[in-house]
Structure 1
Amino acid sequence: MDEPVKGLQELDQDKEKALENIRHKLALLPDLPGCYLMKNSKGTIIYVGKAKVLKNRVRSYFTGSHDGKTQRLVSEIRDFEYIVTASNMEALILECNLIKQHHPRYNVLLKDDKTFPYLKITNEPHPRLEVTRRVLKDKAKYFGPYPNAYAAQQTKKLLDRMYPLRKCNVMPKEVCLYYHIGQCMAPCVEEVPQEKYDEITQEIQSFLSGGHEEIKKELQRKMQEAAEELYFERAKELRDQIMSIDALMEKQKITMADAKDRDVFGYAVDKGWMCVQILYMRQGKMIERHASAFPFYGEAYQDFLSFITQYYSDNPALPQEILLPAEPTGTETGEDGSEADAKEGADAISGAAELQQWLGVKTLVPQRGLKRQMISMAEENARVSLEEKFRLIERDEERTSKAAENLGAAIGLESLSRIEAFDNSNIQGTNPVSAMVVFIDGKPAKKEYRKYKVRTVEGPDDYETMREVIRRRYERVLKENLPQPDLIVVDGGKGQISAAVDVLENELGLFIPVCGLVKDDKHRTAQLMVGDPPEPVHLPRDSQEFYLLQRIQEEVHRFAITFHREQRAKSMVASRLDAIPGIGEKRRKLLLKHFGSLKKIKEASVEDFRPLSIGDKLANQIINALRDEES
């Protein structure tokens, strides 16, 4: 039997065996809540999910029809495990922990769950105020998260001016500049009572928790006193602090009368992608938003809840209230929305209840009013973000395709879709290799890249290397009726172009345009040469066509040099073993297959060589030779 056919049959048998095993396990699933872990043929966990009823949820993957992205997930499943939990809330927490532990490729992964900045009042005898992205269980007080580092730094900058906590990481031996400008109490040289620290910490806490209006009134009172006593510099400093507070709190778009801290969530899905928008409301004011976009493979709303669970799993600075959208149900609604109020969002409310129980934070799914408007605003922002993402992708594709079209026009081709580019690599003629990359409509087609070990050329002869590789490539194109390129690109000038054209036209009877990319003294794309004899073609350096040529040249050079390094490394290993008496080609291959690398051979004991039928004497010679060479 032909080997490839035999291999395919064995794969089909393994798949059928795995699916039969899954069918048996499905029959044993319990009617209980829990988490399930889907595995591929290698035993790797590729998806983690939770279910109120494991039996129903897991079976749903293997019955009925699915959309394209879910089919992709299901096609890789070869086994599954499940863990029963006591409640839906336990399943929610367990799912979050399993996702963070295994990083399954088909789950929504919150890659930036620790990138949000926080303000922190340290738990030290002499506390400091700092911006941090690491949240530790160190009894410090954390405030945030802030949407970006700038917002956190600006808030810290204001508080540093208002409250004289120490700024240094290590206590100095003498007072610093901050003491002289009134921003530090100099605990390095003076005793600061704990009561003073408690008072400052309490005021900072009050400010960050919404008490900025009271603090602003107190600053205004002090400013009036300073002005009346003719301390104008102090009055100006206090006025600047008041203006900074106003500027910091001015970034509002919606205001709620109750001045609560809220996180408002909304999401949108399109083309297998999800965008989650978080609107941050602090002291009743919307100060900023954050967006995360990612592909998803499960059910949209469940993956949305999974994102929220991961987001809050390491977040100690929780808001007072979390607002979530209802799960879409497709229900027809009347003008007053009464039917929607009655029917939609049962699962959403259940998910909100589980989050509330776990986090200890009021979690709502509002159906009407201003809170519902805020969720609609978050959902609209998510939808716009996704549309913008796809427009940028389409624009990039359009620009890339247009660049290829313009390049074709510049060199006199009616159409230019497929480009094949070649580059040679060697060091003084040793381990000569060549590589080919393919660009279709201006984009790399990596599955069609090819590598070539040069067979017939001795020494560093770039022209003959080009002739050999062009001959081998296009003999195969003719023999196997493969797609022919619209343009061949070689790395070099007139000599390389002439060598390629000679082989194509005189030996193979192919008339494919060939151009050369000439580099400058800094090894960057400098000029395009086309024709017979080759002549330079002027392209503006800031044009998309020139940028496309740069990408092609950089890509083929990267591919060739990587292949050359691989071959050189193998050659060095072979030569070091071949230099040892008693080691021929057969034993060298056997040693490398058994140990995997020279390092492991060198670190092996004499006993480790016995399974290879290598005696103790030869084993000692091998080990000593490699160790002596290194020393």
Structure 2
Amino acid sequence: MGQAFDSVAFLAHCSSHPGVYRMLDAEGRLLYIGKAKSLKKRLSSYFRKSGLAPKTAALVARIAQVETTITANETEALLLEQTLIKEWRPPYNILLRDDKSYPYVFLSDGVFPRLSIHRGAKKQKGRYFGPYPRAGSIRESLGLLQKAFLVRQCEDSYFRSRTRPCLQYQIKRCKGPCVGLVDPAEYAEDVRHSVMFLEGRSNALAEELWAGMEQAAIRLDFEQAAKLRDQVALLRRVQDQQSMEGGSGDVDVLAAVVNPGGACVHLISVRGGRVLGSKSFFPQVGIEEGVGEVLAAFLGQYYLANSERDLPGELIVNAMHEDFSALASVLGEQRGGELHISHRVRATRARWQQLAVANAEQALSARLAHRQHLATRFEALAEALNLVELPRRMECFDISHSSGEATVASCVVFGPEGALKSDYRRYNIEGVTAGDDYAAMHQALTRRFGKLREGEGRLPDILLVDGGKGQLAMAREVLQELAMPELILLGVAKGVTRKPGLETLYLNDASHEFTLPADSPALHLIQQIRDEAHRFAIAGHRSRRGKARRTSSLEGVTGVGAKRRRELLKYFGGLQELSRASIDEIAKTPGISKKLAESIYAALHSE
């Protein structure tokens, strides 16, 4: 046991300047990073004799060393704190796990612009609309625009290579600009209407379309009038769904809810007075924190730690915090304009705020109910397997292929809080006989636990293998080969009828065979993990198979680049006809020599 941290001696020499502090344990592991206007005053609050919350007391008990960095002011302390938290992710800090950038609708430049989903840096020339909190929200908008205004959404490379209209034209989702079936002026008008919708000017757009419909009717152009009527109907339908329409400006509305089981921050994104969508976040809370602390940590990590975030002019929150003044100043500089953090709001903004709070409460309640449900299943499994302690980590492997093609092994990971998707892994299986699931499993397990022996990753408490006796024996063989520590092996074999609820289970080896009642929570957990491994393996297999089938047999031929591939396919009318051609026929293609034709023929007939 190491010597206790001498807080009295440390505080006696601690600076009162603003800065950042780092708390470490006896082994030098980082526990917590914080900032303070006065380092001495803030750190003194951790070492008082009473009044600490239980989780904070647990943190203080582990402290063996405190390091400080003095900064010029509170703003610099805030920026340094967020940089360090993002880099080190200490266990006792509030941590935001989802740091992906939000998607935008991108309208490209050109005579026939394209609408698409865009993430990341805004380097392409064109206009960006958003951000949208969820990809689902953006797809809804693009789907509506495709139905209403028929602006193309295909890739530019696909657009340039078309010689006849595609399916989107046939189903009236595009006007065929790729083959000149629409006048540029008419297309530009469709683009202008799409922009009006994306800017949130739906009412003005509907009125303009309505006026155009009336003019078309006066001219007795009833076909055009019907098209405009349908466009107005689509817009009105969206406005009916937008119950929070009616505000103005660009706003992010954030509401935090905290209870003993965890925390949730719900964000509603408003642009041009129109709600684009919302999303719930569940930050990791290491010590007791109030709503204000969670919001302050969330704003810092969400906006400051990701410079590509779109910053609106106003953030509406459901609680205030002393750091918000410094945050607003820093975020305003990052935005290049003034930014306000508001708490007391009225009218439409108050409705947005109430909606965010209600969504945060609902999301956290549902998450905790799910956790409780999962905890019950884990307890039942521990009882069924006669375990002394609850398993904290379960891994399940499965194999997927089509008649041996594009074999993929999946590994999914579950804990008492649910699926640990960041720990999921897929393994592309190579060098085994097609359809040999045992060899595929051997390779996947060797790769997974071979890395573990080298010090990478964590050992599971239970290794679950889908496939019964044979796969269980294979798993045991791999663990013996690698001289791995003992861990619980659980094989799952489908019953004779292959119906859920009739599985046969094997504990550690084939001699320990048992079943569980169909209504057993332990069996339901095993089925849930097994089904998730199956889903993940199939998704990986389909992706790999699709990629293999999309890859041209010509891509590996030296001297045949994209241009020559196009010429070959154009000359023969497709890969199938090219495959039937002889070497002499291939050599007749412009730019293809006899020697190159021999290489192409060999590549096409190598299987």
Superposed CA deviations along residues 262-313 of structure 1, whole A, max 9, x for unmatched, are 2111111111621111233344354543211233135432332121222223
Alignment of 1:534-545 (within 5 A): 541=518, 543-544=520-521
Alignment of 1:295-314 (within 5 A): 295-298=284-287, 299-300=289-290, 301-312=292-303, 313-314=306-307
Alignment of 1:415-434 (within 5 A): none
Secondary structure of the residue that 1:294 maps to in structure 2?
Answer: coil
Distance in 2 (alpha carbons) for counterparts of 1:36 and 1:199: 58
Residues 1:111 and 1:243: Cα distance change in structure 2 (over 3 Å): farther
Distance in 2 (alpha carbons) for counterparts of 1:296 and 1:380: 20
Residue number in structure 1 paired with 2:357: 379
Alignment of 1:188-587 (within 5 A): 204-256=194-246, 258-271=247-260, 273-286=262-275, 288-298=277-287, 299-300=289-290, 301-312=292-303, 313-327=306-320, 348=324, 351-352=327-328, 354-359=330-335, 360-367=337-344, 369-370=346-347, 371-372=349-350, 374-398=352-376, 520=495, 526=503, 541=518, 543-544=520-521, 546-547=523-524
Residue number in structure 2 paired with 1:609: none
Alignment of 1:586-597 (within 5 A): none
Instruction: Report if the CA contact (8 A) 1:179-1:186 is conserved.
Output: no
2:214 partner letter? Q
Superposed CA deviations along residues 408-467 of structure 1, whole A, max 9, x for unmatched, are 9xxxxxxx997999xxxxxxxxxxxxxxxxxxx9x9xxxxxxxxxxxxxxxxxxxxxxxx
Residues 1:34 and 1:395: Cα distance change in structure 2 (over 3 Å): same
Instruction: Report if the CA contact (8 A) 1:30-1:55 is conserved.
Output: yes
Distance in 1 (alpha carbons) for counterparts of 2:529 and 2:389: 9
* Pairwise CA distance, 1:196: 9.7
Residue number in structure 2 paired with 1:172: 161
Residues 1:67 and 1:225: Cα distance change in structure 2 (over 3 Å): same
2:302 partner letter? Y
**TM-score normalised to the size of structure 2?**
0.56
* Pairwise CA distance, 1:374: 4.0
Residues 1:93 and 1:103: Cα distance change in structure 2 (over 3 Å): same
Instruction: Report if the CA contact (8 A) 1:404-1:548 is conserved.
Output: no
Instruction: Report if the CA contact (8 A) 1:279-1:286 is conserved.
Output: yes
The worse-fitting range, judged by mean Cα deviation, of 117-126 and 544-553 is 544-553
Distance in 1 (alpha carbons) for counterparts of 2:234 and 2:48: 61
Residue number in structure 2 paired with 1:426: none
Distance in 2 (alpha carbons) for counterparts of 1:302 and 1:134: 29
Residues 1:189 and 1:88: Cα distance change in structure 2 (over 3 Å): farther
Distance in 2 (alpha carbons) for counterparts of 1:517 and 1:217: 62
Distance in 2 (alpha carbons) for counterparts of 1:45 and 1:238: 63
Distance in 1 (alpha carbons) for counterparts of 2:90 and 2:327: 22
Distance in 1 (alpha carbons) for counterparts of 2:332 and 2:308: 14
Distance in 2 (alpha carbons) for counterparts of 1:209 and 1:155: 12
Instruction: Report if the CA contact (8 A) 2:256-2:265 is conserved.
Output: yes
Structure of greater relative contact order (alpha carbons < 8 Å, 6+ residues apart):
2
Residues 1:125 and 1:222: Cα distance change in structure 2 (over 3 Å): closer
Secondary structure of the residue that 2:16 maps to in structure 1?
Answer: coil
* Pairwise CA distance, 1:168: 2.2
* Structure 2: gaps of 5 or more residues: 392-415, 419-467, 470-490, 532-607
Secondary structure of the residue that 1:207 maps to in structure 2?
Answer: helix
Distance in 1 (alpha carbons) for counterparts of 2:133 and 2:187: 28
* Pairwise CA distance, 1:518: 8.7
Matched, 1:61 2:52: no
Secondary structure of the residue that 1:50 maps to in structure 2?
Answer: strand
1:68 partner letter? P
Higher-Rg member (1/2): 1
Residues 1:164 and 1:324: Cα distance change in structure 2 (over 3 Å): same
Matched, 1:111 2:97: yes
Percent identity over paired residues: 29
Residue number in structure 1 paired with 2:118: 132
Instruction: Report if the CA contact (8 A) 2:18-2:77 is conserved.
Output: yes
* Pairwise CA distance, 1:538: 8.7
Residues 1:314 and 1:347: Cα distance change in structure 2 (over 3 Å): closer
Q: How many residue pairs align between the two structures?
A: 417
Residue number in structure 1 paired with 2:20: 35
Distance in 2 (alpha carbons) for counterparts of 1:395 and 1:283: 41
Secondary structure of the residue that 1:112 maps to in structure 2?
Answer: coil
Residue number in structure 2 paired with 1:149: 135
Instruction: Report if the CA contact (8 A) 2:377-2:524 is conserved.
Output: no
Instruction: Report if the CA contact (8 A) 1:272-1:296 is conserved.
Output: no
Superposed CA deviations along residues 479-531 of structure 1, whole A, max 9, x for unmatched, are xxxxxxxxxxxx99xxxxxxxxxxxxxxxxxxxxxxx99975799974589xx
Residues 1:163 and 1:26: Cα distance change in structure 2 (over 3 Å): farther
Distance in 2 (alpha carbons) for counterparts of 1:399 and 1:147: 33
* Pairwise CA distance, 1:126: 6.4
